[in-house]
Structure 1
Amino acid sequence: MTRAARWARLLTTERLGAPGEARDPERSPFEQDTGRVTFSSAFRRLQDKTQVFPLSKSDTTRTRLTHSLEVASIGRSLGERAGRLLSAETLLPEGVSAQDVGAVVSAACLAHDVGNPPFGHSGEDAIRTWAARFLNAHPGLDLTLAEREDFLRFEGNAQTFRIYARTQARERDGGLRLTLPTLGTLVKYPCPSTSCGPDAGHAYAKWGYVQADAPLAARVFAGLGLTRQSGERERYVRHPLVYLMEAADDICYAVADLEDAYRLGLIGLRELLDVYANAADLGGHAWEEGAGEDHAAFPANRAARAKNRVIARLVDDTFDAFRAHLPEIEAGTFTSDLIHSIPEYAARYAPLKALARERGYESTRVLQIELAGYRALGGLLDALADAFVTRPDGHDSRKLQQLVPEEFYVLSPTPYHEVLARRARGRLLEHLSTYERLLTLTDYVSGMTDRYALETYQYLTGIKLP
């Protein structure tokens, strides 16, 4: 297959579940994807989900929503540059522009964190810890090894694919019916829970879809021409644009989160400006007093301008890495990520992440609130698992089942009137297997916002009344 033919597959306008959907004459299918993600309820809930600093009282601290918007801005820039590169090499399919490539990356960036549970990565750990405790306490549950792994290794990335390929529009095939390129770019780790691991290489360090969604993922990969790797493990080649989405996220993690730490008083201005100057390769003299208009600015504005310079430099360096490694990326043999492929990464960019980890991610307040959230999620799942799996006919269990919205009981395309009929008969759970009941719980709890999860836990335990 020629490179042009391969990119024609990689940038197809086909939608999951609606291959023949008519095109909007005013907007490209990829711009429509951006709209579908932006107006989805799962995306809106990011406004009250933790980025780094949970339940912050500052109105300037980033949430998952503002983080995702910033990632999408950087992703669009990187995508459009990639589109112009492909255009110059006559690799863009007819009717697809450089702006369309930017729209694909932007849409994937907007959606990339939607599957994260309350309290971010701490929430993922809470669900995994609960799953290990629950499954060890109930070894006789009717679950395959692969199904158990979906909970023991709960992964926000897999939940993101599940939301947009299935649960955001449960009554129909394909969920929101995003284009295959957007979904392919969204699957950062193209393998199931049983095929990932730290020794599997960068693209398979984590996993991208639960067992229930494996057929949907396979349809996406097949439509894009992404082949399965050789060997016994189920691992597919990454979509080339995944690397740009991943890099945009890495840039925001490395740079923008430090600005939040400064605003919250966890990092001093001089220390912040020094690490930014090193990353932007400007030299310490750029921050000496009296050197240019930046030094007449308010401290927060100086920090913001320095951050912008670092982001601009990182975008340039990242795109250079993408261009240099494009043949390997297309062939599926590239084994790193773009940020770590930048020659000066260790000297210029690694200190950014080290400082963010030390002063931000591991700060006392962050750890205290994450611990509270950790316990709340475990308590919620204990109560719900009792009602859904181990004691579904108990009096309290029936009440808990009624608290969970009816759409969470739908795990395959089902007309709404049929769901209503099941509820009227009190039989919403009857058609669900043990695996599907547990998926219902993780779908419900992982979709909660930070505050809603804490309040629901308090209500269920009697700590607080509605």
Structure 2
Amino acid sequence: MQLMNWEQLLSLKRFGDVNKRLRQEQDETRLGFEVDYDRIIFSSEFRSLQDKTQVVPLSQTDFVHTRLTHSLEVSVVGRSLGRQVGRLLLEKHPHLQKIHGYQINDFGAIVAAAALAHDIGNPPFGHSGEKAIGAYFKEGEGKEFEGQLTKKQYKDLCDFEGNANGFKILTESRVGREGGLRLSYATLGAFMKYPKASLPKKPTTHIADKKYGFFQSEEETFKAIAEELGLEVRDKANNAYARHPLAYLVEAADDICYTIIDFEDGINLGLIEEDYALEYLIKLVKNTINTEKYNALKTTEDRVSYLRALAIGTLIDEAVSIFMKNEEQILAGKFETGLLDVSSYKAQISDIIDISIKKVYQSAEVVHKEIAGYKVLEGILSVLGKVASNVYSGHLTSYDKLILKTLPETVNLSNNALYDNLIAVCLYVSKLSDSNAMLLYHRFNGNSI
């Protein structure tokens, strides 16, 4: 069984590097993997997450999570996962430290940076935003472009994917910003949960085939990074690779946070009854709870906070254990599920998620505002899709020319390729915050004069 190599997987290489970056030569006060974290957190795309929906769209309640707070929390959990796994890996493979100089915190820094960026490509209005963009091309006015695109290009648009869009944001070159954020290849690999193109869709039940991770516009970039990291090839004809092992930890960090913290939001919003909810959390932490301390807590917020901390700690330990137990299968690209999918706590996790779906994700407030989000994105794309097409064909209307004047210089439309124009428009829309998307929609409809 051929295994991926940790030294390659921990590559410090960045876009444009000619020579290899060696771990022993790194400045310990500003490690390359930590630079990744800094570049992400200072990016405008990351900042826009402060006004993007996590669960409850456009919520004005200060204790409900946005994409920004969710991403920060996933990053913190990811750092803990990475450090714990790093300690065990260096004990198991001492040459990584003795010969190459890798440290425990390197693993934590990689996972923390990739986790910080994991939602950077998500459009406004949560997952309904992805669906709204896809619906415009699959069922709406954008269906007219189908005959002018390849099957993979059209699928990129119909199944618009935040993970692929995130990879584009992190790696796309533009004037003055060659190589995007120029992150290390190790961090980019850990970010890539679905290292495949949009087609074929779900060719297997392997977790890496659940969605896709790059648009056709980034295929060559993705392939170069995958080959540098030595990712196992799963389908050469379609450029599908095995996951970077640390992507399993990024995924686990996200799973832990949305399972526990979305549930917490539901309780704090009053969508889930406290007694009913706490009973489910207690089932998850019954082996670690200090009953005397718990009973002394007087408020719902304090009780939920205490149980949340215990639950996250429990699931971190569980994910680390599963990762190490299956390290060889993961390095061979043969581990086919998420870490928590085979957890001994799977039943408890499923119960909590089921309640969140019924009480939070399908609550009237969430559904009504997702409907509004659908309408907003459909309206914006109706205008910008026509502009993208007319720039390509060379038949701009007076209205198109006015719209073009409002777009930032980073939206690069040309007459070279229709697909590139449409993807550029989707990228622009995806970067909008919820509030700015609403504002643009009203502006396009003449409601802000």
TM range (shorter): over 0.9
CA distance in 2, matches of 1:300, 1:266: 14
Whichever residue aligns with residue 434 of structure 2, its letter is D
Secondary structure of the 2:326 match is: helix
Q: Displacement, 1:173?
A: 3.6
Selected match of 2:96 from 84, 92, 96:
92
Shift in alpha-carbon separation, 1:70–1:464, aligned structure 2, 3 A: same
Asked if 1:439 corresponds to 2:423, the answer is yes
Asked if 1:219 corresponds to 2:224, the answer is yes
Checking the alignment, whether the CA contact within 8 Å between 1:276 and 1:310 is kept in structure 2 is yes
CA distance in 2, matches of 1:324, 1:313: 17
Secondary structure of the 1:229 match is: strand
Asked if 1:457 corresponds to 2:441, the answer is yes
CA distance in 2, matches of 1:103, 1:19: 24
CA distance in 2, matches of 1:170, 1:282: 55
CA distance in 1, matches of 2:215, 2:419: 11
Checking the alignment, whether the CA contact within 8 Å between 2:142 and 2:385 is kept in structure 1 is no
Checking the alignment, whether the CA contact within 8 Å between 1:196 and 1:206 is kept in structure 2 is yes
Checking the alignment, whether the CA contact within 8 Å between 2:390 and 2:396 is kept in structure 1 is no
Whichever residue aligns with residue 8 of structure 1, its letter is E
> Comparing 349-358 with 102-111, which one deviates more in the overlay?
349-358
Whichever residue aligns with residue 16 of structure 2, its letter is G
Q: Displacement, 1:139?
A: 4.7
2:328 match: 327
Per-residue displacement from partner, 1:398-439 (whole Å, max 9, x unpaired)?
A: 011111101121xxxxxxxxxxxxxxxxxxx44541111101
Checking the alignment, whether the CA contact within 8 Å between 1:195 and 1:207 is kept in structure 2 is no
Q: Displacement, 1:276?
A: 0.3
CA distance in 1, matches of 2:295, 2:41: 35
Whichever residue aligns with residue 196 of structure 1, its letter is K
Shift in alpha-carbon separation, 1:223–1:377, aligned structure 2, 3 A: same
1:305 match: 306
CA distance in 2, matches of 1:336, 1:273: 28
2:401 match: 398
Q: Displacement, 1:19?
A: 4.5
Whichever residue aligns with residue 454 of structure 1, its letter is M
Asked if 1:149 corresponds to 2:155, the answer is yes
Selected match of 1:36 from 23, 39, 48:
39
Mapping for residues 241-260 of structure 1, pairs under 5 Å: 241-260=246-265
Per-residue displacement from partner, 1:43-97 (whole Å, max 9, x unpaired)?
A: 1010000000111121111000000000000000000011101110115252221
Asked if 1:349 corresponds to 2:353, the answer is no
Whichever residue aligns with residue 9 of structure 1, its letter is Q
Aligned residues: 438
CA distance in 2, matches of 1:21, 1:368: 52
CA distance in 2, matches of 1:9, 1:236: 15
CA distance in 2, matches of 1:64, 1:125: 17
Checking the alignment, whether the CA contact within 8 Å between 1:328 and 1:334 is kept in structure 2 is yes
Per-residue displacement from partner, 1:313-341 (whole Å, max 9, x unpaired)?
A: 11111111111111100111000110011
> Comparing 48-57 with 19-28, which one deviates more in the overlay?
19-28
Shift in alpha-carbon separation, 1:359–1:13, aligned structure 2, 3 A: same
CA distance in 2, matches of 1:21, 1:222: 14
Checking the alignment, whether the CA contact within 8 Å between 2:121 and 2:169 is kept in structure 1 is yes
Per-residue displacement from partner, 1:294-313 (whole Å, max 9, x unpaired)?
A: 43332211111111111111
1:137 match: 144
1:234 match: 239
CA distance in 2, matches of 1:140, 1:344: 48
Whichever residue aligns with residue 36 of structure 2, its letter is D
Checking the alignment, whether the CA contact within 8 Å between 2:146 and 2:154 is kept in structure 1 is no
Could you tell me the percent identity over the aligned residues? 36
2:358 match: 358
1:338 match: 339
Q: Which runs of 5+ in 2 are unaligned?
A: none
2:81 match: 78
Secondary structure of the 2:5 match is: helix
Per-residue displacement from partner, 1:11-44 (whole Å, max 9, x unpaired)?
A: 1211123344885562110011111111111110
Q: Displacement, 1:367?
A: 0.4
2:381 match: 381
TM-score calculated relative to the size of structure 1: 0.89
Asked if 1:197 corresponds to 2:229, the answer is no
Checking the alignment, whether the CA contact within 8 Å between 1:266 and 1:359 is kept in structure 2 is yes
Q: Displacement, 1:192?
A: 0.7
Secondary structure of the 1:55 match is: coil
Secondary structure of the 1:226 match is: coil
Q: Displacement, 1:172?
A: 4.5
Asked if 1:206 corresponds to 2:206, the answer is no
Q: Displacement, 1:267?
A: 1.1
Checking the alignment, whether the CA contact within 8 Å between 2:232 and 2:333 is kept in structure 1 is no
Q: Displacement, 1:136?
A: 2.8
Shift in alpha-carbon separation, 1:225–1:464, aligned structure 2, 3 A: same
Secondary structure of the 2:302 match is: helix
CA distance in 1, matches of 2:255, 2:14: 28
Asked if 1:106 corresponds to 2:105, the answer is no
2:11 match: 12
Per-residue displacement from partner, 1:197-252 (whole Å, max 9, x unpaired)?
A: 27442111100000110110011101101132146443101100000000000000
Q: Displacement, 1:270?
A: 0.7
Selected match of 1:262 from 267, 271, 286:
267
Whichever residue aligns with residue 122 of structure 1, its letter is S
CA distance in 2, matches of 1:315, 1:92: 24
Checking the alignment, whether the CA contact within 8 Å between 1:195 and 1:204 is kept in structure 2 is no
Whichever residue aligns with residue 303 of structure 2, its letter is R
Checking the alignment, whether the CA contact within 8 Å between 2:235 and 2:241 is kept in structure 1 is no
Asked if 1:163 corresponds to 2:165, the answer is no
Asked if 1:407 corresponds to 2:410, the answer is yes
Secondary structure of the 1:407 match is: coil
Whichever residue aligns with residue 225 of structure 1, its letter is G
Shift in alpha-carbon separation, 1:139–1:51, aligned structure 2, 3 A: closer
CA distance in 2, matches of 1:270, 1:155: 37
CA distance in 1, matches of 2:175, 2:197: 21
Secondary structure of the 1:95 match is: coil
Whichever residue aligns with residue 443 of structure 1, its letter is L
Shift in alpha-carbon separation, 1:20–1:294, aligned structure 2, 3 A: farther
Shift in alpha-carbon separation, 1:120–1:296, aligned structure 2, 3 A: closer
Checking the alignment, whether the CA contact within 8 Å between 2:49 and 2:433 is kept in structure 1 is yes
